[in-house]
């Protein structure tokens, strides 16, 4: 609900408003949010200029704790995931108490603390309303824009009195960029919320409700070394064996929902040695768990066949295959409360929410797999994972307003 303060000196005396009129007007106006643009700008710059590649998130965790606990007085909990991830810190959970006890369902917002490289000596440039760097490093808007936005949201909530506020949890994870390791190591029982938004994609006023599940595979093809010039007959060329199998592997876009890729091949020691080992790494993704399994089998079948053709008696490990479940599917229906709330919040701001599907994985996939329904919101960052990464302050401001509106709508349900 939106509250307006109308005092006599602000209205001409000849205008008369009934209480009923004011109440009806309040239903059709978006929340008037006093986003402090300069504060948001300064926070974002400070965050970006902290180097935090994966496993080196300690200083960002300290900054987050300083703002949420020391400045705003909220509870900050650090889990013990660092024992599993190898990070300087665990995942952080910030708890903001609701204004109506436990009658409202808690709501989660998620961002990650780590960035890709290069990160050494990040200096943020701000020109014509756009944040970027000089091109020698990444900016780090992925995902520090999300952290800065959530800090501004928390500060705005602190400054607004009388608003119906659901319990909130902000989850800041480590090691997202190197395999979603922080989210995977998270003990979900420390979270009270069972639904939330991950702030981690490009664009604005867009929501991703579908993302694929994925597996990663590694294959070792063993041959036999020999001198390539003197006695090649005594060798078994592992590269040749691997190439034979790879030529039969389905790759690329398999169907509208499924992709497969081989991304890494390692092998050989010198041009005069018949190579005795080739290592292959790849992945399969699909929006369908059944299709994922079927395509996984199709991708690996040529390697298993290679094993059988070369060593039908099973007298030696010619081929070794290892498969890892990378992340589960994200599939939140459009009539879910997360989607309808975001759609209503966007509409109240005069915007239309775009509901989209992605081919990538994120912390949201892991959270869904742990029983926490999660969708992904765009925060305006562009050209992420490149040194041309940039983001507009105006988009960050709109995102902060959007999140405050989502929180308001959630509190009214």
Distance CA 68, CA 87 (A): 21
Q: Check if 114 is active-site.
A: yes
Helix %, strand %, coil % for the chain, to 5? Answer: 35, 25, 40
Candidates 400, 338, 408, 389; CA nearest to 119 is 389
Contact in structure between 238 and 264 (CB atoms under 8 Å): no
The label of the residue with tokens 């797999």 reads 369
Catalytic residue among 51, 57, 114, 405: 114
Query: What are the backbone dihedrals phi and psi of residue 42, each rounded to the nearest 5 degrees, phi first?
Result: -65, -40
The catalytic position among 51, 169, 176, 326 is 176
Burial class (CB in 10 A: 0-12, 13-18, 19+), 176: buried
- What spatial distance separates the first Cα and last Cα of the chain, rounded to whole Å? 11
322 counts as catalytic? no
Distance CA 212, CA 225 (A): 41
Rounded CA-CA distance 324/411 in Å is: 40
The number of C-alpha atoms within 13 Å of 26 and in the hemisphere containing its C-beta is 13
Location of structure tokens 């960052």: 381
The dihedral region occupied by 325, where left means phi > 0, alpha psi between -120 and 50, and beta the remainder, is beta
Q: Any bridge partners for residue 253, and if so which?
A: 259
Active-site residues: which are they?
114, 176
């Amino acid at each position: 609900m939106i509250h307006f303060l109308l005092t006599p000196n602000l209205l001409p005396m000849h205008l008369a408003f009934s209480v009923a009129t004011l109440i009806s007007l309040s239903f059709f106006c978006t929340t008037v949010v006093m986003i402090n643009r300069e504060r948001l700008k300064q926070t974002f710059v400070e965050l970006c200029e902290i180097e935090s590649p994966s496993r080196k998130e300690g200083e960002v965790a300290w900054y987050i704790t300083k703002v949420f606990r020391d400045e705003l007085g909220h509870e900050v909990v650090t889990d013990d995931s660092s024992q599993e991830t190898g990070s300087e810190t665990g995942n952080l959970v910030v708890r903001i108490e609701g204004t109506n006890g436990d009658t409202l369902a808690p709501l989660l917002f998620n961002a990650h603390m780590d960035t890709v490289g290069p990160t050494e000596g990040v200096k943020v440039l701000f020109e014509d309303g756009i944040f970027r760097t000089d091109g020698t490093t990444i900016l780090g808007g992925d995902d520090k824009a999300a952290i800065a936005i959530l800090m501004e949201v928390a500060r705005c909530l602190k400054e607004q009195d009388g608003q119906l506020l659901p319990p909130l949890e902000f989850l800041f994870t480590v090691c997202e960029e190197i395999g979603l390791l922080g989210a995977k190591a998270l003990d979900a029982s420390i979270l009270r919320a069972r639904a939330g938004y991950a702030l981690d994609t490009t664009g604005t006023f867009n929501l991703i409700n579908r993302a694929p599940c994925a597996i990663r595979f590694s294959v070792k093809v063993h041959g036999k070394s020999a001198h390539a010039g003197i006695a090649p007959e005594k060798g078994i060329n592992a590269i040749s064996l691997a190439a034979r199998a790879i030529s039969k592997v389905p790759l690329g876009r398999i169907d509208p929902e499924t992709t497969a890729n081989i991304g890494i091949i390692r092998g050989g020691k010198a041009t005069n040695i018949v190579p005795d080992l080739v290592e292959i790494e790849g992945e399969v993704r699909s929006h369908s768990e059944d299709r994922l399994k079927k395509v996984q089998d199709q991708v690996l079948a040529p390697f298993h066949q290679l094993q059988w053709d070369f060593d039908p008696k099973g007298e030696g490990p010619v081929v070794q295959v290892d498969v890892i479940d990378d992340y589960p599917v994200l599939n939140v229906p459009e009539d879910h409360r997360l989607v309808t709330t975001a759609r209503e919040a966007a509409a109240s701001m005069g915007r239309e929410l775009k509901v989209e599907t992605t081919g990538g994985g994120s912390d949201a996939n892991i959270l869904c797999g742990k029983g926490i329904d999660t969708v992904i919101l765009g925060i305006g960052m562009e050209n992420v994972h490149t040194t041309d990464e940039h983001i507009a302050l105006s988009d960050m401001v709109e995102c902060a307003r959007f999140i405050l509106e989502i929180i308001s709508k959630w509190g009214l349900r």
